[in-house]
A and B are shown apart, each in its own frame.
Chain A
Amino acid sequence: MLTWKRSALALWVAVAIATALAQEKEQGTLISEVDMYVSPDTTSQKLARATRGRNVILVMERTNMGGRSWSHVLVVVDVDLERQSERQISGWVPSSVVVTTATPNGDQIIYGEAVDSENQAQQRGGRRHADEDAMRLYYRLYEYFPSSPLAGEALWRAADIRWQREKADTRLRPSSREMDASMREGMDETTMKLVHKKFPHTKWADLASYDLIDNKLCGSWRGEAKCPEKESDMYEKYAREHPQSPKAAEALYNAAWRQAALVDMYKAAHENDKSEKARKKSMELAQEIAGHFAESDWRPQALELIYALQQGIPTYDVENKKPIS
């Protein structure tokens, strides 16, 4: 009994010391692309080029040299998610570009640099890999400033950038046209699920849930009704379960639009009852959007859909098996 108590006490002490050490460690990220040097001197040997948002897992020491402040840092420069490995390099960088947990307003500075990188990524001729910089910077903010008021938004943005990048890659693969979602490799859901776990019942969790629907959509409908049926249900369910989500109107519109496509599919298959049922459902959903989201762009889009349904303007090209865009 005494032995067990001693062991438990020793374990508790060890955990407490480790936690205290982790809390004392100065960690952060880089807000500018810099060269890492062997010693605190720009004439010394260059070790690597470290990009924005890289994980500075430890600031080991600081010194002044040649009238400027230098930091000796341990930086993660390469992460291989598949092999679950990473490469770390230690070297010297100018202290000015290292924003750590000890930097006043560090969360705001990292977030600001992330927004700047995101804007760069959206600009024609913007900085190369700026989207990756933004993704890393947003993630670092969440990682090192978890109680910042910006943490939820930052984690969501990091997850969304990763998601959109993977989505673009996935679309280039032949398997992206597989009708059944289980027949193709989807986007990695880890970071989205982290948003759910860390910030449940928030706007960001709602947005993450919306992105996750992408993994359940058919790659191609191939003219079969089961795809738009299933997708319409998923979008409607989302809108019902997340009525406060910024994506609720879009989800309802996606549900209504798929029902409109079903009208054309069933009509072509001479299943007139099903076609009429889909038309009614589409109208109901579109009217709900027009009523509930009067101040958004979704209202005119819903009214346009209603008009198309009333006039019998097709939404789906049955002959060529593709939506009429």
Chain B
Amino acid sequence: MVKRGRQFGLAIVLALASATCSAAERGTVIREAALYGSASANSQKVAPVERGRDLTVLERSDSGGQPWVKISMAADEARISREVTGWVPAQALITASTANGDQIVFGEAVSSEHQAEERGGRKGAAEDAMRLYARVPELYPGSPLAAEALWRSADIRWQLAKADFLRSGTQPEEKYLNAVIAKFPQSKQAELAAYDLLEAKLCPEWRGLAECPEKESGLFEQYAREHAQSPKAAEALYNAAWRQAALADIYRIDNEMNKSEAARKKATALAQQIAGQFAQSDWKPRAMDLTYKLEKKIPIYGQVIE
């Protein structure tokens, strides 16, 4: 009984803590700002506040004819243990109560993504876009932009981690893409996330062996069958067809002519399916190009057989 009472007490403490957390106003900034020790631009700068950082609003104040907000944020998003507090000008702060806040944060995320794609664009712009997109579903879970924003954030994180993988060897984390599938099942964004996740199952190198393209072709074909409405369905089918075409060459090099012919037929069938189903996209001519190469036995993998 005592035990039960203690459990009840703990539940109240947790509920109160949760209520306090949910009551706190959360937001982000759409321009990089400095975190000041007090509500004055002359005070000491504590840390930079990059676009899209997850902020908790603690207090508001007017100082020097300008509105200021006291915020707390994780000092390093990778290690959330350390929180820093300080003051930022309120101009660029967007919270859940800002009118059209979802559109404004999403708009800044799009601009940052453009910056990241530009030659000589702003340093760290891709990370800015990733954080800004992530804030949209957090601050505005009912926004019509929430699913797209969550997907774009997860995709940018995935692409950055993939690029980093080549350097560091650290595998990209799948949890962010899985979160898209879990929160927005059966959506276009879930289908796109599922497509990204296929990359984790691909071989880093084929080394001329049939096993990898066999497995990969199966994965891409399965994706196309299970996600027939996905914007990536045609690309998945093409990837499956292309791998079968590569298999035709690999088996031919290994003198396994029956398997080579079977792969060639499979590649042709898949390519014809693309040409028939996706007539208005760039995938149709690509499939026809592949069909032509298969017909003419133009090698697409390995050395040219003379």
What is the interface of chain A, defined by CB distance below 8 A to chain B?
A: 31-32, 42, 96-97, 99, 103, 105, 108-113, 115-116, 124, 150, 168, 171, 297, 299-305, 307-308, 311-313, 324-325
Interchain pairs with CB closer than 8 A, number: 89
Interface of chain A, main secondary structure: helix
Q: Are A311 and B107 in contact (CB under 8 A)?
A: no
Contact A304:B108 (CB < 8 A) given known A111-B285, A168-B119: yes
What is the interface of chain B, defined by CB distance below 8 A to chain A?
A: 30-31, 91-92, 94, 98, 100, 103-108, 110-111, 115, 119, 121-122, 125, 145, 163, 282, 284-290, 292-293, 296-298, 306
Interface of chain B, main secondary structure: helix
Q: Which of A97, A108, A299, A308 contacts B285 (CB 8 A)?
A: A108
Kindly list chain B residues whose C-beta atoms are within 8 Å of the C-beta of A301: 107, 110-111
Kindly list chain A residues whose C-beta atoms are within 8 Å of the C-beta of B296: 96-97
Nearest Cβ in chain A — how far from B24, in angstroms? 23
Cα A116 to Cα B106 in complex, Å, equals: 32
Cα A32 to Cα B145 in complex, Å, equals: 44
Kindly list chain A residues whose C-beta atoms are within 8 Å of the C-beta of B121: 325
Q: Are B119 and A105 in contact (CB under 8 A)?
A: no
Q: Are B289 and A31 in contact (CB under 8 A)?
A: yes
Contact A313:B31 (CB < 8 A) given known A304-B104, A304-B107, A325-B121: yes
Q: Which of A31, A103, A304 contacts B111 (CB 8 A)?
A: A304
Contact A302:B285 (CB < 8 A) given known A96-B297, A105-B292, A112-B290: no
Cα A113 to Cα B289 in complex, Å, equals: 6
Kindly list chain B residues whose C-beta atoms are within 8 Å of the C-beta of A168: 119
Q: Are B298 and A300 in contact (CB under 8 A)?
A: no
Residue ID in chain B nearest A113 by CB atoms: B289
Nearest Cβ in chain A — how far from B302, in angstroms? 14
Cα A131 to Cα B118 in complex, Å, equals: 17
Kindly list chain B residues whose C-beta atoms are within 8 Å of the C-beta of A311: 91-92
Q: Could you name 14 residue pairs across A and B whose Cβ atoms are closer than 8 Å?
A: A103-B292, A108-B284, A109-B289, A109-B292, A112-B287, A171-B119, A300-B103, A301-B111, A307-B30, A307-B100, A311-B91, A325-B115, A325-B121, A325-B125
Cα A109 to Cα B284 in complex, Å, equals: 9
Q: Which of A109, A124, A150 contacts B163 (CB 8 A)?
A: A124
